[in-house]
Amino acid sequence: MLAPVRSFLALLLWVVALTSPVYAQATTTPTLDLTVSTIVVAADATRRERVAATMLLEEVQRRSLVRWTIADRASTGAAIHVGRLAALRRGPLAGRLNGPAPGAEGYRISTAPGSIVVAGADERGVLFGVGRLLRSLEMSRTRVVLPAPLDVTETPVVAVRGHQLGYRPKTNSYDAWDAPQWEQYIRDLAVFGTNAIELIPPRSDDAADSPHFPRPQMEMMVEMSRLADKYGLDVWVWYPALDDDYTTEANIGKAVAEWEGVLKQLPRLDAIFVPGGDPGHTEPSAMFGLLARQTANIRTFHPTMTMWMSPQGFTAQWMETFYGLMAKQPVWLTGIVIGPQNRDSLATVRQRIPPQYKLRRYPDITHTIRAEYPVPLWDVAYARTLDREPINPRPLDQAAAFQRWLSVSPDFLTYSEGCNDDVNKIVWSALGWNPKADVREALRQYARYFVGPAYAEPLSTGILALEENWRGPLAANIGVERTLAAFQAMERTAEPRDLLNWRFQQTLYRAYYDAYVRRRLIGEQAAQVQAMSALANVSGLGSMAAMAEAERMLASAAQPVAADLRTRVFQLAEALYQSVRMQLSVPLYRAIAVGRGANLDLIDAPLNDRVWLSEQFAAIRALPNERDRVTALTRIARWTDPGPGGFYDDLGAPDAQPHLVAPPAFRQDPGPYHSGLTGFGSLPNWRLSWMSHAEAFYDGALQMTYTALDPTARYTVRVVYAGDIYSQNVRLRLTADETHEVHGPMAKPSPVAPVEFAIPPAATADGRLTLTWRPNQGLGGAGRGNQVAEVWLIKETDPK
């Protein structure tokens, strides 16, 4: 059953609870040695209470040589009592369990010399209480201790705390997992307070099969539903409406039968979430008609199932239709989901739909670019190599995204494409339990529980350092080298079992990969500076000699650097395939696509303009005379030079866009609703400066401002409209001072090339200028397309 939505009440109780300490530690209680212990479970304990006790037993065994037992009474050594609070209060432990009881899914843990009590408010509370104890233990090879007293009563604040686990080809690891791997991962998430998972049916926008599948999709979907039910977790299904037409009775009947054939097989189903787009693009009225029928039918075999949908990808017109349909208050609908590709923010949706409908978030925690929460101010070198779906621990960014809409919609199930976002899942689960949780402490628990007590400080600090690796211009970020050194120090002292741990391997992979990319970037950019110097001297060298010298410089930088780092990256990629089936390469590990986490295939991608220059040189060599060749090479050498009195901005490069009206900091506005962002898109033969861009979303404007212009001069603006290749159908309009049209709606030039437009003199007559780009209004889909890569404002020297 879905946990009742208690968002407002839970938040209120949480605020009240802040007046009481979470921990009440008795200073007289010593460290509790649990090496010899018995887990005491009542003879009449429920099946799920016994599952929780078994999880405690097995997870200790997994991390040590210590062997506990389960019994219905205490024996030799310490006693760890596990059960529901109401039952434990009826026995001899009642005196230790006085006071206010925890709320739904909560627990009380009490320690005393020789014993621990884990008392859950309900079955889930027992499970989460065991998880809390596991996260607090220090488990070494031959010893298990509780290092400090643990006397705590806790209740989760957020009612729905879940993650999408899609067994499908379009993932970077999930499609290769067998049932034991899935059970372990579901356990891991439950230890940190996750209470729901979201499955994906066999038919989605994926290929029909994966070479990695150990079992058929339908069979595994049934098994994952059973596993979730075993631990008492909610089962959601993300079910896209993929057919072209749902307006006829025949088509609706066919869809109802198809969904029934899948969902009727699931042992447990609590909710269905149907996205409005990506995939599926059904007009809202037809969507509502389909879902009303689906809900009525599915409730004949899953009577408590709730139906949710999202307006994902809707245009402005479809959004108004959607709001009109919501105003009619359909009784079959439980709530609305908001995540990537929604024109309207959670706050807007909350205001415009009737209050009885719940809201749930679907935050994208798995992608770095073309994402709901892209990495702010990411360096283009990372985008070029790590691409969209790398191993991406972003604890502080994720905390900012979590907090942004907490007061509007606390409930969430995250959007995930694999184990690359493992840290991010844990951060969301920890904050869902307690929004005031210390993210650093959550990372300590992550490192201690998943890798070992010796790693609590260094690995948690290292994870934060990996996030800092991605802050700002890479070449200047010397912290990348410090991060590598810290991970190498951990690696040198690691035990063999630590080196086999996939979570440790992931962090090592990133530390080595980041450092290798930085060293390549520095070398290749230095070579490009030398190549440009040769081209700048074209008048002295001659065009053919200048190009030959430039090519020699660029070729020298294409040679491998830091070969030891590169080799270690490949070793770790192999280790990750063996340990957790991460598919970091298409040819080596049969990843579905390079952009789906296979960044090993991009590790040597050019980090300067040598590919673009090679094409330019070929065209220039074909020119008929030396003068034209010299002119063309001079233009390349002076690419960023706007001339006297002019200005140049490389949009998308944080340190080279002084005239861009900057958006708020990521942590003030992590989504695209109120600000522009740095975006990325590329073709192999583009300049590096075209591979990043400034962008605004949906109807948003992109603006640049200039001051101290010559009011008597005429100006020309030169623009490169690049952007990602998925947004080429957008038409852009450029105005000066929001009044004078510089150019009307136009498509982006293809192939990409600079275009020039005259600025109306009236716009600069006061010595100031604001340039504003807007797309065609009412966009749906991802809302991308208002993307500008380079801008020159050129002061005309010829008065004519």
DSSP string across 201-228 = -SSSSS-S--TT-SS-HHHHHHHHHHHH
Looking at residue 666, its pLDDT comes to 81
Of all residues in the chain, the percent with pLDDT exceeding 70 is 95
pLDDT in tens, 585-626: 999 999 999 999 999 999 999 999 999 999 999 999 999 999
At 571, is the secondary structure helix, strand, or coil? helix
- What integer is the mean pLDDT of 424-443? 98
pLDDT in tens, 45-85: 999 999 999 999 999 999 999 999 999 999 989 999 999 99
How sure is the predictor about 668, in pLDDT bands with cuts at 50, 70 and 90? Answer: confident
Q: What is the 3-state secondary structure (H, E, C) of 130-179?
A: HHHHHHHCEECCCCEEECCCCCEEECCCCCCEEEECCCCCCCCCHHHCCH
Q: In this predicted model, what pLDDT tens digit does every residue of 437-496 receive, in sequence order?
A: 999 999 999 999 999 999 999 999 999 999 999 999 999 999 999 999 999 999 999 999
Gap between the Cα atoms of 507 and 493, Å rounded = 15
At residue 244, φ and ψ (nearest 5 deg) are: -75, -25
Q: Which two tokens stand for residue 246?
A: 């749902």
Over residues 378-417, the pLDDT tens digits come to: 999 999 999 999 999 999 999 999 999 999 999 999 999 9
Which residue in 400, 379, 497, 611 sits closest to 140, CA to CA? 497
Strands 152-154 and 107-112: antiparallel
Q: Phi and psi dihedrals of 39, rounded to 5?
A: -85, 115
Q: What are phi and psi of 769, to 5 degrees?
A: -155, 135
For residues 686-713, give the mean pLDDT: 95
Cα angle: 171, vertex 174, 178; to 5 degrees: 150
Task: Report CA torsion sign: 44, 50, 52, 53.
Answer: positive
Q: Which of 160, 169, 233 is nearest to 200 (CA)?
A: 169
Q: Dihedral of CA 763/766/767/771: which sign?
A: negative
Share of the chain above pLDDT 90, in %: 88
| Helix pair 217-230, 179-191: axis angle to 10 deg | 40
Is 82 within 8 Å of 39 (Cβ atoms)? yes
The average pLDDT across 165-179 equals 96
What pLDDT is stored for residue 798 in this prediction? 66
Q: Cα–Cα distance between 83 and 129 in angstroms, integer?
A: 10
Q: What's the burial of 21, exposed, middle or buried (CB within 10 Å: 0-12/13-18/19+)?
A: exposed
Q: Confidence band (pLDDT; 50, 70, 90) for 1?
A: very low
Q: Which residues contact 766 (CB under 8 A, 6 or more apart)?
A: 711
Classify residue 504 by its DSSP letter.
Answer: H
- pLDDT computed for residue 478 by the predictor: 97
Intra-chain end-to-end CA distance of the chain, in Å? 76
Q: What is the tens place of the pLDDT at every residue in 289-327?
A: 999 999 999 999 999 999 999 999 999 999 999 999 999
* pTM across the whole model: 0.94
Mean pLDDT of the chain: 93
Contacts of 748 (CB under 8 A, 6+ apart): 721, 722, 723, 728, 730, 732
Paired tokens of 503: 């979570």
Question: In 213-345, where does DSSP find H-type helix?
Answer: 217-230, 249-263, 284-298, 316-327
Cα–Cα dist 126/88, whole Å: 12
**Cis amide linkage into residue 751, ω under 30° from 0:** yes
Q: Is the pLDDT of residue 16 over 50?
A: no
The per-residue pLDDT for range 202-249, each reduced to its tens digit, is 999 888 899 999 999 999 999 999 999 999 999 999 999 999 999 999
Q: Can you give the three-state secondary structure of 729-766, one letter per residue?
A: CCEEEEEECCCEEEEEEEECCCCCCCEEEECCHHHHCC
- Report, as an integer, the average pLDDT of 127-151: 97
Q: Which three-class secondary structure state does DSSP give residue 719?
A: strand
Q: Supply the pLDDT for residue 799.
A: 52
pLDDT over threshold 90, residue 672: no
pLDDT greater than 90 at residue 5: no
Quote the DSSP letter at residue 264.
T
Residue 304 identity: T
Question: Which of 799, 793, 800, 798 shows the shortest CA–CA distance to 645?
Answer: 793
